[in-house]
């Protein structure tokens, strides 16, 4: 069987390592190059002992000449670097980016939220914001695939079907999300060294977290009315996992049972989104090490208010797994290849 040559740029971060772990099991993929900056010459197993017995190339510096030998480039790099790589793509290359570089559809929004000018603004229109359950086969038409952020993945999968069906009020959606510290990258230990990271819960980015821009863009893309929401992320004393708790006001004539049925019908043919029974209390433990998103609809003391719970593994469904899911769609592989 012919395998596609693949390069992973940013192969030693938490997301990069997770990508390597999944791709070595993918029957259609050959990992040709692993690239990094501070890790050049090292084996990737230096960062994860699980990979010690695997036959993998040593880490090298990225060079655009490598693109001649490559079919797929995964970029798990600091924001801005995938933009530069995108300017050197050949016709045969597909770029799947896990940073924020191709999530926002306006260069001005990128400048506003990421405080840097977009280096490849002409490529934005050639890219797709690829939440696979929402955009489906449209992914096939693009050679630049922007993967959603981890928080937005958990939030958008829960909200978009309800917005499309005009089932909920849009003027006061409250989103409270808690993530394992791996979501902040390897530098989290230094950045939060005074926060007692392993034994405390910390709110951060209140009102101005960068993922606000992404959530706002996609919610409004799926609505004819302006949407107002509040999003507060928290770092939890666990390595990975996200649990989003979303407070929603229902429109008239929509019951919790109708909301549950809307979600079940919307995702009935999707492999990775699972709608649990009404009032199921979700735990991140249910989805860790999977590409699944579990969603639950819960009653409150008020008839017209509900709480929707959504949980994912931030490094898999919110990162490497979703990137592979998009690749599988793009190249007509089995949707769960490498993700079983």
Domain limits, CATH 3.30.360.10, in the chain: 151-314
User: Directed axis angle between helix 211-221 and helix 150-164, to 10°?
Assistant: 20
Is 4-148+318-330 a CATH 2.40.10.500 domain?
A: no
Domain limits, CATH 3.40.50.720, in the chain: 4-148+318-330
Whether residue 78 is predicted with pLDDT greater than 70 in this model: the reply is yes
Whether residue 186 is predicted with pLDDT greater than 80 in this model: the reply is no
pLDDT digits (tens, 9 = 90+) for 243-298: 999 999 999 999 999 999 999 999 999 999 999 999 999 999 999 999 999 999 99
pLDDT of residue 268: 97
Report the mean per-residue pLDDT for the chain: 94
Supply 247's token pair. 């407070």
Interval 222-251 mean pLDDT: 95
Give me the CATH code for the 151-314 domain, please: 3.30.360.10
Query: What percent of the chain lies above the pLDDT cut of 90?
Result: 84
- Residue 323: exposure state from Cβ atoms within 10 A (0-12, 13-18, ≥19): buried
Whether residue 21 is predicted with pLDDT greater than 90 in this model: the reply is yes
Interval 167-177 mean pLDDT: 96
Catalytic residue list? 150
pLDDT of residue 332: 96
The region of weakest confidence among 47-61, 83-97, 99-113, 151-165 is 47-61
């Amino acid at each position: 069987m012919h395998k596609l040559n693949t390069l992973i740029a940013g192969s030693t971060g938490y997301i990069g390592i997770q990508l390597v772990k999944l791709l070595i099991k993918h029957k259609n993929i050959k990992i040709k190059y692993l690239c990094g900056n501070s890790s050049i010459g090292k084996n990737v197993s230096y960062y994860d002992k699980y990979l010690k017995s695997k036959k993998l190339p040593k880490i090298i510096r990225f060079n655009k000449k490598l693109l001649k030998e490559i079919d797929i480039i995964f970029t798990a790099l600091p924001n801005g670097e995938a933009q530069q790589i995108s300017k050197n793509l050949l016709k045969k290359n597909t770029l799947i980016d896990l940073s924020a570089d191709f999530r926002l559809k306006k260069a001005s929004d990128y400048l506003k939220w990421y405080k840097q000018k977009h280096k490849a603004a002409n490529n934005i229109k050639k890219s797709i914001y690829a939440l696979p359950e929402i955009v489906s086969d449209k992914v096939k038409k693009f050679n630049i695939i922007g993967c959603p952020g981890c928080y937005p993945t958990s939030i958008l999968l829960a909200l978009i079907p309800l917005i499309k069906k005009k089932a909920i009020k849009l003027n006061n959606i409250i989103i409270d999300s808690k993530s394992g510290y791996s979501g902040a990258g390897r530098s989290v230990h230094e950045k939060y060294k005074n926060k007692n990271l392993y034994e405390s819960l910390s709110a951060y980015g209140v009102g101005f977290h960068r993922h606000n821009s992404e959530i706002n863009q996609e919610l409004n893309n799926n609505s004819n009315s302006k949407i107002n929401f509040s999003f507060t992320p928290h770092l939890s004393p666990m390595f990975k996992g996200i649990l989003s708790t979303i407070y929603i006001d229902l429109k008239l004539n929509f019951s919790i049972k109708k909301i549950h049925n809307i979600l079940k019908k919307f995702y009935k043919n999707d492999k990775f989104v699972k709608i649990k029974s009404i009032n199921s209390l979700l735990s991140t433990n249910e989805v860790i090490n999977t590409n699944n998103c579990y969603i639950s609809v819960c009653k409150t003391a008020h008839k017209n208010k509900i709480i929707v719970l959504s949980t994912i593994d931030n490094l898999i469904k919110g990162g490497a797994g979703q990137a592979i899911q998009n690749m599988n769609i793009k190249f007509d592989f089995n949707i769960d290849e490498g993700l079983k």
